[in-house]
Every structure is written in structure tokens, then in C-alpha cells.
Amino acid sequence: MAETETKHHPEHHDEDVHDANYQAPPEKTIEEIMAADQEDESLRRYKEALLGAAQTEKIIVEPNDPRKVIVKKLALVVEGRDDMELDLTGDLSQLKKQLFVIKEGVQYKVRIDFIVQREIVHGLKYVQKTSRLGVNVDKMKHMVGSYPPKKEIQFYLTPAEEAPSGTFSRGTYSVSSVFTDDDKHIHLEWDWTFEIKKDWA
């Protein structure tokens, strides 16, 4: 977060979330970005297209929230089925009580809905670690990208993943998710669970 820090989960080590050798560029305000390279016409047009309305007005969607990135929702997306959603704006400690059921072997995607306000954010990342019976079984790390402030909710959709299949893969899995960025701001961390079953029922 920009002003509000979130404590790290012990299972999320810095080297898991951030590349040790990567040096993020310095943070810049929208005013600094627009003021740079004014003589480069193509770059100026690119920045105008990227920033949109944020060039001319300070976009603040939720005035009482000091954060630049407000993560709203996680959804599991499976073709032909209604999205399974987690509301990330309430008590995050209750999320583990909402058990997603996933049919073994299906292709699914994870969608993150979020708001960006106040300033542009650089190098957003989504990191997800999955464990079963206390043993890490999977880790995904996706570069989400840089996003300007917008009044509308923005989203990121991961590439398709295949759910585990087979008798020994069925059961309950624990997931730890982190939405972070190049500057190591932790915008949100949350834990949730899903169960692999032979069928959706």
C-alpha cells in the first residue's frame, strides 16, 4: 500500500514474491510522468492514451481510503459456469469459511477486480501459493502490469490453469494470495480454500 502497510504472511517470503536482483524504477507522480520527454511526440501520445482522464483530474474513487490500489474481488472463472466469487472488501479472516468446489481436471482462470486511484501504479503482481496438508504443491506468479487511476473497476485475468485430477488429488487445498507491485507495496494479502471433487456437486 502507499500509506497503509499490511503485515506479511509468514509463508510469503520476499524472494517468493519479488525477484531479488530486480531493481524497480523510482516511483513517479502523474505530473512527473507527463512533464518528462515532452519533445517526443509519439511518447507524449502514448502517455496521454495510457493515463486518460488522470492527466487532467485527480481521480479518487473512495476518498476515505488512502490506498492507491483497492482490491475488490477474486473470482474463479470456468467456461460455461457462473463465476465463483470472493468479496475482498470485508473481514478477510472469514474467507476460509467459503469453500470453492472445483471439478477435477477442469480449466480455470483467476480474475482479480481492483480500483486504482490517486496515482499510477507500476508493475502490479499477483502471487498465489497453494498447499495441501501443510505441504506446498503449487505456486503461480503473474505480472499484472502498470495501471493508471480510473473511476471504473479494472481487472486482471490469469492464463488458464488445470485443476488437479485423480483420486489422490481430491481434497481441500489452502491458498495464500498476494497483490503487490515492483515497489514491494503489499496492496492486499488473503487466504482462501477450495476443494477438488470428482464432480461439481
- 99-136: pLDDT as tens digits: 899 999 999 999 999 999 988 888 999 999 999 999 99
What is 59-197's CATH topology?
A: Coagulation Factor XIII; Chain A, domain 1 (2.70.50)
Torsion, Cα 70 76 82 87, to 10 degrees, reads -30
Distance of CA 123 to the CA centre of its chain: 11
The domain locations on the chain are 27-57, 59-197
Q: Which three cell numbers stand for residue 184?
A: 514491494
- 40-90: pLDDT as tens digits: 566 556 555 666 555 556 788 899 999 999 999 999 999 999 999 999 999
CA separation (Å) from 96 to 3, 93, 156, 189, 195? 27, 7, 22, 13, 11
- 129-161: pLDDT as tens digits: 999 999 999 999 999 998 888 999 999 999 999
Query: Which residue carries 503449487 as its cell?
Result: 138
Q: Which three cell numbers stand for residue 34?
A: 507527463
- Within 13 Å of residue 119, how many CA atoms lie on the same side as its CB? 15
Q: Which three cell numbers stand for residue 191?
A: 487466504
94 near 192, Cβ under 8 Å? no
| Strand boundaries in 26-77, DSSP class E | 69-77
Q: Which amino acid is located at 34 in the chain?
A: M
- 2-21: pLDDT as tens digits: 333 344 444 454 556 555 55
Helix (H) or strand (E) holding 131: strand 121-132
Mean pLDDT for the stretch of residues 172-198: 94
